[in-house]
Homo-oligomer: A and B are copies of this chain.
Amino acid sequence: MALRAALLSGKRGLSGLLCQLSSSSSHVRVCVSQQRTNSTAPKIKVDFNQTTGVAVMNMQSPPVNSLSLDFLTELCIAVEKLEMDKSCRGLILTSSQPKVFSAGLDIMEMYGQSPERCAEFWRAVQEMWLKLYSSNMAVIAAINGSSPAGGCLMSLTCDYRIMADNPRYSIGLNETQLGIVAPFWFKDSLVNTVGHRHAEMGLELGLLYSPSEALRIGLVDQLVPEDQVLSTATQTMTKWLAIPDHARHLSKSMMRKPTVDKLLSSRESDIQNFVSFITKDSIQKSLRVYLEMLKKRKG
């Protein structure tokens, strides 16, 4: 049930595994978290407006907001703080990095790590999803760049998704393109958003949708010019905050609780599945090949 990989056939490179950034429709830039220029700088910047009750959470982890353990830990702590502050009613998730919302899970967390570390990492991915998907706050994604794999998952946890109308950007759970498989709770989030059929085809083919395609199938709710993504999110939030919090949150919980409970009731086995998969010799080998390929590209 958990994340699993298949060795890729010779024809296709392991391009973009878990950390892909489509910088244009014609070619792909790939980045890993090693490129970070300052690993101790805060990866999350929160601007909370006491007057409006809305916090804007900027993801600012160069180059592509990869979901590393540090990143996820920071994010979860930030969300929990806001959740406990009764005066914070709305949360806007956005990116400070150019062209990308988040490129998804950080491959370096999965290569050459101990089983214990892998388990810790996966628990943090689960925690991020659980916290955001069942948040009491109204959460809006201001998707101002590409959002593949784990970045798409993060978008799916939100109550509303606004994306930059730039055809160079894409969004989707593209795991199969990389030879791996989205775990069941990634799948459940997608089914709840675009329905069974689009989820099936999107997952089987690892589809990355253009903004207009994403709008058509309901993967995002609204497209706006790139420079208006955040301002539109702020305006939209007033509509969400016009609803009494208690009623809005109970309705959200009624819709999402069965999906949340599924992961809560199988969290440990989901971690075990991930660890036993990712620590396989064959998987580690393909990750090494992939990373060496990346080094050559950059060299």
Chain A residues packing against B (C-beta within 8 Å): 1, 4-9, 11-12, 138, 159-160, 175-182, 184, 187, 191-197, 199-201, 203-206, 218, 221, 239-240, 242-248, 250-252, 254-256
Contacts and interface: CB of A to CB of B under 8 A. Distances in A.
A30 B179 CA distance: 48
A160 B192 contact: no
Contact of A247 (B180, B251, B254): B180
Given A201-B159, A205-B239, A243-B204, A254 B176 contact: no
Given A179-B246, A204-B243, A204-B248, 17 more contacts: A1-B254, A4-B246, A11-B242, A12-B242, A12-B244, A138-B204, A159-B201, A159-B204, A177-B243, A181-B251, A187-B255, A196-B255, A197-B218, A200-B255, A205-B239, A205-B243, A205-B248
Contact of A187 (B7, B203, B254): B254
30 contacts: A4-B247, A5-B247, A6-B244, A6-B246, A6-B247, A9-B244, A138-B204, A159-B200, A159-B201, A159-B204, A176-B244, A176-B248, A177-B243, A179-B246, A181-B247, A193-B197, A195-B196, A195-B197, A196-B255, A199-B255, A200-B255, A200-B256, A201-B221, A203-B251, A203-B255, A204-B243, A204-B251, A204-B252, A205-B239, A206-B243
Q: Is the interface of A mostly helix, strand, loop or mixed?
A: helix
Contacts of A193: 196-197
7 closest Cβ pairs, A-B complex? A6-B246, A176-B247, A203-B251, A179-B244, A181-B250, A200-B255, A6-B244
Contact of A184 (B160, B181, B201, B254): B254
A200 B255 CA distance: 6
A205 B246 contact: no
Nearest to A242: B12
Contacts of A245: 6
Contacts of A179: 244, 246-247
A7 B204 contact: no
Report which residue of A9, A245, A250 has the largest number of chain B beta carbons within 10 angstroms of its beta carbon: A250
B247 A175 contact: yes
B195 A243 contact: no
A245 to B, nearest CB: 7
Contacts of A248: 176, 204-205
Nearest to A190: B255
A252 B200 contact: yes
A251 to B, nearest CB: 4
A246 B197 CA distance: 20
Given A176-B247, A179-B247, A247-B5, A197 B204 contact: no
A254 B160 contact: no
Contacts of A184: 254
B192 A254 contact: no
